[in-house]
Every structure is written in C-alpha cells, then in structure tokens.
Amino acid sequence: MSRDIRGPNEKLGTVLALAGISNAGLARRVNDLGAQRGLTLRYDKTSVARWVSKGMVPQGAAPHLIASAIGSKLGRPVPLHEIGLADADPAPEVGLAFPRDVGAAVRSATELYRLDLAGRRGGSGGIWQSLAGSFAVSAYATPASRWLISPADSSVAREAAEARDKDAAAAGDAGIPQHVGHSDVSKLREAAEDARRWDSKYGGGDWRSSMVPECLRVDAAPLLLASYSDEVGRALFGATSELTRLAGWMAFDTGQQEAAQRYYIQALRLARAAADVPLGGYVLASMSLQATYRGFADEGVDLAQAALERNRGLATARTMSFFRLVEARAQAKAGEARACEVALKASEGWLERSRSGDPDPSWLDFYSYERFAADAAECYRDLRLPRQVRRFTEQALSRPTEEFVRSHGLRLVVSAVAELESGNLDAACAAGTRAVEVAGRISSARTTEYVRDLLHRLEPYGDEPRVVELRERARPLLAAPA
C-alpha cells in the first residue's frame, strides 16, 4: 500500500542514480530485506517508478527497507529525509546515540528500554519490524572512538532533585524509587547471571531469555532515573550494562541485528559510566563478533583491537585471551591467515597464564579452553584448513555439557563442515544429524543458520541417502518461524 505525496520524488531518483541501482534492482533488494524479517513483499520496477515519478510513499517497513538497501550499496547509513521519505511512518534513531553527558546517556538507554517493550506488545515486531535490515556497521564508529578517548566519566552521582525532573516520565508506570542502594544493584546482577545461564542452555529466543528487556524497563530504568551516590551509581551502571549487553546478545542470536546494535551501543555507554574498562571491552568484543558475522570483518578487527588497546595492564589474562580470540575470528573472516595465527597464539598464551585465583569478571564464566578450541576451529574453517578444524573441534567437543547447549550445537556443525571438506561424507552427516537434534531443543536463529549453511554445502551430494535423511530431519527446524 502507498499514499501520494504529490509530484516526483527527485531526492529518491537522485540517490538511486548516485548508488547505481536500477528500479528493478531496488525492488529486488527491498523484497529480499523484507523476507529476512518474515515479510512477504512483491515490489517490482513499476512500484519503484511510482515512488520516484509520482511521489508515492510505501507504507509500513518499506521506507526503512529502501533506505537500508541504498545505504548498503553506498556503504553508509541513508536517513529517510535524504531520499524524500522523511514523512513516512517514523522509526526513531533510538539507541544509536552515544552521549557525552551522563544524564543524556541515562535518557538514551531508558528510551530504548521503553520502545523495545512497545514493540513486543505490538505482536508484530513493533519498532524492530519497521527497522528491518537497518544494521549499519558505521554506527559503531563514534561509540568506539569516544570510548577509546575517555572510557570513564568523572562522576555519575545523581541527586534527588535531579531524579524528580523531566526525566521522571521516562520511568513509565514503574515509578522511581527514592534512593538506590547496593541491594538494588545486587538484584540486577542476579538477574544478569540467571539470564546468562538460560541463554546458553536454551538460546536467545527462549521465553526466559526474552524477559531481559522487561527487566531493563521495569527494574533497571527506574533505578537509573533515581538518586544515587557516585559509588553506588558506578555499580548500578555496570550491572545495567551487563543486562543491556545480554539483551543485545540475545537479539543477535535470534537474528534481530538492528535491535542488537542499539543495545550494544547503550551497553558500551553504560560501561563507560561504570568506569569498567574490561566490561566496555567485552561489549566491543560483542560488537566485533556481530560485525564479523554480518560480513564486516575489517570493522570486526578494529572493534576487537579497540577492546584490547584500552585493557592492556587492566584486564585479567583470561579476559585478554578472549579479546585476542575475537580478533582472530575477525582476521580469519577477512582472510588474513597470518594475522589470525598471531592472534590465536597470543590468545592461547594468555589463557595458559591465567590462574583459578585471578579476579576474573563473572560475565566471563563461560570462557574455557574448550571455548577457545571451538572458536579456533571456526577460524580455521573460514581459512579452509580442515585438518586444523578437526583437531580443534575434537578438543572443543571433548567435554559436552548441558550448560552450554547452543555452543555444543554450533561445534557439531563446524565439525560436520570439516568432515565434509576432508571428504568424509558419512562423518559429516552423522555430526550434522546430532547438530540438528541439538538445534531442535533451543531457540537460536544463529544455530539454525549454521545448519542451513551445512545443508547448502551438502547440495552437491543431494541424491545421497544420508544427505536426504539429514535434510528431512532438518526440515521442521528450517520451517519454524524465526
């Protein structure tokens, strides 16, 4: 459906020409982006011609998909006003700001928490549906650079009078407590620990994991808008940053890349307010993994190295090991074999230097030698070195545990790919079958995508009975809604 804004949309026509996109090409890109978010769109070159020559404005998510499609070709974000669609149904740039001022940072984060809940209540994706496909890796540039320049605010104390000002409305119907104490912060940390366990065991789409945004709105936001001392405020910002990063990670795992990006940016800003440099590095590492997964490996390297640079002499050995491992993932995806090997060697060296008595942060509890081996295997998969993939995958799978079900499923898929590239079709199908069984027990779009990639690699063997059986086993998983 469209509505008329009278007269040609010269802005859209000009930007299309600049990007070198034909009418048919834009229609195809918009339809594809819509399909990624479960939307069935049937635009064609005539539809685009009407947008340009008659000024028709498509409704719903389409204007934002148009901007995303053009931005992808130009390599930068394209705002709606640049293509003459600023009067379309608005999708605010919520969550993308990285304010210098602490008060503005609180408003930016709490606005994101409220808007996400509005989307969930809508029943059709709400804000995230309209922002479909709007991930732009360039949005990480300003947050990363500002964090590198100054990873801590001078003071975050908030007075009672300030807590009663115009920001009070941002707390919604939850209300604002008078003063925040350490017990309030402890409850948030407990919620984060519970959410991490559920996420690892059941995936980011499990209903228990989806309670994290609700916790941010109902519990964290009112505390951020209350009054607190500098000491308590630092702890509060740190706990809220952990929860916000978790919300981003869960969105990433379920394929909501645009939501994940906004949560990550706010988590990094809150980590700066907490003066928690290792936590900020962890958020940057999460950004790096997302950028790499989305095909922006060079930016993934930059983000991982930013995490490393500020943490030299601050983070524990195990934390530094994880940051180097994330860098190795990005280097491998970029095809930089030598740089990947250097990062992997450094990561393993840091891990060997770590000790059980080190003051490692609780959010790093998941990281072990098995996790190092699993990511090393993925690095070598991207570098197309199946022998190393098999060696590290065997180590990664040596101690399967019910605590990290999703990770186990991902490792099985990587093992299947290695077996396939080594010419062992039977072993590949066996590992793939086990991976499908694990994937069926969790809610993780990322795990499903790994299985889909494996089946794509098996297409040349499509008539083999083992492959046919695996495809049939995977059918319910691939047919399930995202």
Of 366, 294, 280, 359, nearest to 329 by C-alpha is 294
Residue 326 sits at φ, ψ, to 5 deg, of -65, -40
| Total tally of structural domains belonging to the chain | 1
Report if residue 232 sits inside a domain.
no
Instruction: Give first-to-last CA distance, the chain, whole Å.
Output: 25
Report if residue 205 sits inside a domain.
no
Domain limits at 44? 2-83
Report if residue 168 sits inside a domain.
no
pLDDT score, position 173: 42
Q: Which two tokens stand for residue 31?
A: 């339809």
Report if residue 120 sits inside a domain.
no
Report if residue 18 sits inside a domain.
yes
| Distance separating alpha carbons of residues 62 and 69, to the nearest angstrom | 10
| Distance separating alpha carbons of residues 107 and 401, to the nearest angstrom | 41
Q: Which two tokens stand for residue 358?
A: 């080190």
CB 213 within 8 A of CB 117: yes
Interval 316-367: pLDDT, tens: 999 999 999 999 999 999 999 999 999 999 999 999 999 988 999 999 998 9
Report if residue 279 sits inside a domain.
no
Report if residue 72 sits inside a domain.
yes
Interval 89-123: pLDDT, tens: 545 578 889 999 999 999 999 999 987 544 443 33
Q: Could you tell me the CATH number of the domain that includes residue 50? A: 1.10.260
| Distance separating alpha carbons of residues 438 and 442, to the nearest angstrom | 7
pLDDT score, position 62: 80
Report if residue 49 sits inside a domain.
yes
Q: In the chain, which residues have pLDDT < 50?
A: 1, 90, 117-126, 132, 166, 168-174, 207
Q: pTM (2 decimals)?
A: 0.78
Residue 321 sits at φ, ψ, to 5 deg, of -60, -45
Q: What is the CB-side half-sphere exposure of residue 95 using CA atoms within 13 A?
A: 27
